[in-house]
Amino acid sequence: MNINWTTPKIVALVVATSVITAVCNDLLMTRTLTRRILSSQDVVAAGQGQGMMTMQGQTPTGRRGMPPGMYVMTLQEYPEADPQALADQDKKIKDRQGAKETTNEITINLKSYVNCKLTDSLADKADQPDHTLEALPAGVNIYGGVPFDVQGIVQLDGPSVQTGIKKWPSAVKDIAIGHSFKKLHLLQGAFNIVAPNGHIKFAQLILHYADGTQASLDLAGGAQALRCVDAKVPQEIGLLQPPQTELAWTGANPYLTENNPSASLHLYRTTFDNPKPGTKVTAIDYISTMYNPGPFMVGLTIE
């Protein structure tokens, strides 16, 4: 077939090709941005029936190649806490901070494993410099009846904490122990735990024994923790499994006070029985499942 490639036809073909390419690029960029936006903690939370967030602003280029103009979502607002329920909760937490119920416990100093200071922005968000755990006292204090040595935050990776500048590890391994023990206590939390009724595993602890064996202990949403930024009286508090897990500390920071006074910071004390209490544990690995939450711990005690 002979084609008469006159100048007008060539020009028309070039223009058509350019238009099609531009449309395809726009569609690809839209799908990419949609995926990235839907992986942010507030939109994922919205997708789980926690209320749609509104666009609030833009952030600089993120560490995972997110382009300038990536939208930041406003924090979730909660109903005003019932004054009596809040007073009862605060009293219970305070009472549990004043009475040690452990015996022969050993607080593990996590200073060598800390990758986020109490004064650092949580999840390393550049636009939230005052969103910190600075209100949590450093040193040895009792939470949920257990002494913990708080030196900072051991933050793990997860989709909810991937919009900051810093790259978090998916695991912190070989936390030195060197003792046999009956119980393991954690002071911990996680960002954006969604669908807590599903008890979806967000982190695990791998215990390495001196005899070469190992055991796994799982942390699941709704069972061992709720969202670390939550209503002052968490709406799903009844899902926790006492006495294994309890709300052990609440606090605030300037960022929440200014931007989301209906919310507060929450940490949970979780206790596990050691599957092999008579065998020395040489080390523990703290691992994220890379499900949506970004797990972290601030205290580890054995008994």
Q: Please state the separation of Cα 252 from the chain's center in Å.
A: 16
Q: Please state the separation of Cα 109 from the chain's center in Å.
A: 21
Strand partners, 140: 149
Q: What is the mean pLDDT of the segment spanning 81-95?
A: 96
Cis peptide before 147 (omega within 30 of 0): no
What is the structure's pLDDT at 32? 36
Q: Are 165 and 121 in contact (CB under 8 A)?
A: no
What is the structure's pLDDT at 11? 47
What is the structure's pLDDT at 127? 83
Helix, strand, coil percentages (3-state) for the chain, rounded to 5, are 25, 30, 40
CA 13 to each of CA 3, 7, 27: distance values in angstroms, whole numbers, following the listed order = 13, 10, 21
Q: What is the mean pLDDT of the segment spanning 61-67?
A: 37
What is the structure's pLDDT at 26? 42
What pLDDT band is residue 57 in, cutting at 50, 70 and 90? very low
Which pLDDT tens digit goes with each residue over 135-186? 999 999 999 999 999 999 999 999 999 988 889 999 999 999 999 999 999 9
Q: Are 50 and 43 in contact (CB under 8 A)?
A: no
Share of the chain above pLDDT 70, in %: 75
Q: What is the mean pLDDT of the segment spanning 107-111?
A: 98
- Phi, psi (rounded to 5 degrees) for 282: -80, -40
Q: How far apart are CA 301 and CA 293, in angstroms?
A: 23
Q: What is the mean pLDDT of the chain?
A: 82
Q: Which residues make Cβ contacts (< 8 Å) with residue 125, sequence separation at least 6?
A: 131, 163, 164
**Neighbour count for residue 24 (Cβ, 10 Å):** 10
What is the structure's pLDDT at 4? 56
**What does the block give as tokens for 157?**
């990776």
Nearest to 96 by CA among 246, 299, 296, 224: 246
What pLDDT band is residue 278 in, cutting at 50, 70 and 90? very high
Nearest to 285 by CA among 210, 201, 200, 217: 217
CA count, 13 A, side-chain hemisphere, 142: 15
With tokens 């215990």, the residue in question is 207
Which pLDDT tens digit goes with each residue over 246-255? 999 999 999 9
pLDDT at 49 over 60: no
What pLDDT band is residue 124 in, cutting at 50, 70 and 90? confident
- Which has more confidence, 180 or 39? 180
pLDDT at 301 over 50: yes
Q: What is the mean pLDDT of the segment spanning 206-222?
A: 98
What is the structure's pLDDT at 12? 55
Task: For residue 145, give the amino acid letter.
Answer: G
Strand partners, 209: 281
